[in-house]
Structure 1
Amino acid sequence: MKLSEVDLNLLLLFQRLMQERRVSTVAEQMNMSQPGVSNALAKLRRRLGDPLFVRGPGGVVPTPFALRLAEPVSQALAILHAALNPETGFDPLRVTRTITIGMTDIGEVVFLPALVERLSREAPGISLNTVRDTSVNLSNEMAEGRVDLAIGLLPQLKGGFYQRRLFDQRYVCLFRRGHALEDAPLTLAAWRETEHLVVVSAGTGHGQVDDWLKRRGVQRRVRLTVPHFMSVGYILQRTDLIATVPERLALQLAAPFSLSLRTLPSTLPAAPIHLLWHERVQQDEGNRWLRGVVIDLFADSAMQTRRTKSVQKRS
């Protein structure tokens, strides 16, 4: 027999008859007439090729075939009921799952240490996985459920996504301790004449720094160009190069690599860093909980007071 040939209501009726053993009681519980119950039972009998129930003292008695069928039918209906009526109340201490977050190499340095530390205490069963927005189609991956959240400067995520601004990322100048600029005024002329390490991080949005400088005709002495930020600390630590990097990255790199950071002599536009998620997980309790953790850890306090204004759906 094919499943398409079975009416779910007939299986519900079968389960009730197994429990009650009285047609009149089942008819009342299912808001049916007794003839209606009898007709439905006759239909199920024809489908299964067995009487299922025969008359007995005070009601009906299941056949051996019905007794064998009772447990798997009951289990199947219970599974279906649970799927259609999921339990509410997400418990991070008990959940076991892998969360995938789209972020840049900067994001891994800035966000992951605090996030992993928090999850190890509050959700020890959650494992984290990260992907680069430059290595996958982040929009498709999130729409299809393979990536749960994204953090960063990601202007390519538009229709179908929600966003929450976390902070505006300022840019600063970073160099080794003992550099000639450490005790001297960082003028625009000094900044331009010093040799630079430049990061060309395609697809991350941080290329706006170079675009802004080019539009204003600001020239730099570029000694070295690299495609990512992960090598910046190692290079600056052993050279006299300077780099213009996001402030929160600079704060993370300063102590481990013995670096100093200074305010730039020219104000660059700040980069808005957002938490983004697809509309398919807007109501998911686990995703909502994780979004709350990210916001609690990384959102500027001034932004948190304007939460109702900063959560918006992109058109």
Structure 2
Amino acid sequence: MDSKDFDLNSLLILHAVIECGSVTAAAKKMAMSPSSVTYAINKIRRSTMNPIFTRTKNGITPTTLALELNQRYTKAIALINDGLEFSSGCKESEVSRNIIISTYNFFEYWLCHYVTNTENRISNFCLNFVDYPISRETRISKLRNHEVDFDIGGLLPNDASIVAHKLCSSRFKALVSINHPTIHDKLTLDDWNKNKHIKWMQKSDEAMVHDGDANLVDELHNRVVAVKSTNSLNSLMICSESDYIMLVPEYLADFLKENFSVKVFDLPFETTMTSALYVHFHRSAKRKEFVNASLDTLINMVSENNKSNSSLKTETI
């Protein structure tokens, strides 16, 4: 970063644009011309050599870098206003960094639960979860533009700017409520066929998450589905409070049994269908401390939850 081209006034203008949501509104608030506001934002962009805002159909959206700079600016101003010295030698824990994560609802819950209840390397960071995009193209775009730090979900197509790390893969299990009236110690094929099912509907681009023979197995293709939901956590909650059966990846089984009123069974038929979970991040951030800390936490979370399952593996692509 070139310090001679980077000043506190530029950060003040950045703060105003983020708060107001547009260059025009920020210029009006600060009694400046829109071109002067744009000039200040471009100074930051040139100094950091990274985009500061991205354009969407609803206007402009601050990137991860912009949010971090704004957070540090507001903390610095607060310290100055309180008559305290803001030292450039502050510890990372004193200037908490936002980690922006785009993922499934169930993984958001799982990660929050793990971070809250264990000692880990990201306890001093703020986890900022955002909506999971509807397409692979949007997921890639958000990573390229530094709008998110991590994308956790199905494997994205190869991209030179993105690193993919496989967190785990496993076969599927059947999930039912612990209070199910007819399914007790074993799930039979008759149980599978007679009971209704709830189905987590993934985005069309996420079909690649399910590898194997899912479309060829009659028991999967012909099951009676009573509820479909694109919200994974909502699907899990409904299953735990109803008589429906739900397919879940085996890597989730132990966590679900410990935290929901459910029980998990082997499928009563043969299938090679598997589910894989990947974490993606921008290649330029590969050596950053928060990325390594986050990866360690994610890997530990998955491995600790699945110590009894030796088939779960992680790898970097």
Q: Would the aligned equivalents of 1:134 and 1:202 in 2 still touch at CA under 8 Å? A: no
Tell me the equivalent position of 2:301. Answer: 297
Tell me the equivalent position of 2:111. Answer: 111
Quote the Cα distance in structure 1 between the aligned partners of 2:235 and 2:313: 35
Q: Which moved more, 1:208-217 or 1:183-192?
A: 208-217
Tell me the matched-pair count. 222
Quote the Cα distance in structure 1 between the aligned partners of 2:207 and 2:257: 20
Q: Which moved more, 1:139-148 or 1:210-219?
A: 210-219
Deviations 1:277-296 (A, max 9, x none): 12121232332332233223
268, 273, 298: which one aligns with 2:277? 273
> Residues 168 and 131 of structure 1: is their aligned pair in 2 closer, same or farther, counting only changes over 3 Å?
same
Task: In structure 2, give the amino acid aligned to 1:197.
Answer: I
* Alignment RMSD: 3.7
Task: In structure 1, give the amino acid aligned to 2:300.
Answer: D
Q: Would the aligned equivalents of 1:164 and 1:275 in 2 still touch at CA under 8 Å? A: yes
Tell me the equivalent position of 2:101. Answer: 101
216, 229, 241: which one aligns with 1:226? 229
SS in 1 for 2:232: coil
> What TM-score do you get using the length of structure 2 for normalisation?
0.58
Deviations 1:282-311 (A, max 9, x none): 2323323322332233247799x987xx32
Q: Would the aligned equivalents of 2:183 and 2:191 in 1 still touch at CA under 8 Å? A: no
256, 267, 284: which one aligns with 2:288? 284
Q: Would the aligned equivalents of 1:154 and 1:204 in 2 still touch at CA under 8 Å? A: no
Quote the Cα distance in structure 2 between the aligned partners of 1:115 and 1:172: 25
Quote the Cα distance in structure 2 between the aligned partners of 1:264 and 1:126: 39
Find the structure with the greater CA-based Rg.
1
SS in 2 for 1:213: coil
Q: CA deviation at 1:96?
A: 2.2
Q: CA deviation at 1:104?
A: 0.8
Quote the Cα distance in structure 2 between the aligned partners of 1:123 and 1:165: 20
Tell me the equivalent position of 1:31. Answer: none
What percent of counterpart residues are identical?
19
Quote the Cα distance in structure 2 between the aligned partners of 1:242 and 1:275: 28
Tell me the equivalent position of 2:127. Answer: 128
Q: Would the aligned equivalents of 1:163 and 1:275 in 2 still touch at CA under 8 Å? A: yes
SS in 1 for 2:197: strand
SS in 2 for 1:162: strand
Quote the Cα distance in structure 2 between the aligned partners of 1:252 and 1:94: 32
Unaligned runs of 5+ in 1: 1-5, 7-79, 81-88
SS in 2 for 1:288: helix
